[in-house]
Amino acid sequence: MVLDQVDRMHHKARLYMAHKIRVVNQQREIDSLHHAMQSRCIQDELREPREAHIVADFKMKFLPRAFRGQTRKWFGKRGISWHGFLVTWYKYNP
């Protein structure tokens, strides 16, 4: 029983460490992408953006106090699904 709990805790700790490593690698790649976009913008003196970086992210469920339709029909979950989008581009401004 105790060994099972230790095994579960060890597994969860490994999942957490893997998540942290993925986040660091993802952020490094995003930073290098932004640096490359910025360099191309300055080098080509782009006055209008030619490329953009778009990030789509699922947000948590929004639970309104009153809602006209029942959302329980969709996947058996209450609330409204929210998605966020972040668009980044660079424009040359001397």
Write out pLDDT tens, residues 29-80.
Answer: 999 999 999 999 999 998 898 999 999 988 877 776 655 555 555 556 667 7
pTM beyond 0.95, yes or no: no
pLDDT of residue 64: 65
Judged against a pLDDT cut of 60, whether residue 88 lies above it is answered with: yes
- Cβ neighbors of 9 (< 8 A, separation 6 or more) are none
pLDDT of residue 73: 56
pLDDT of residue 54: 95
pLDDT of residue 77: 62
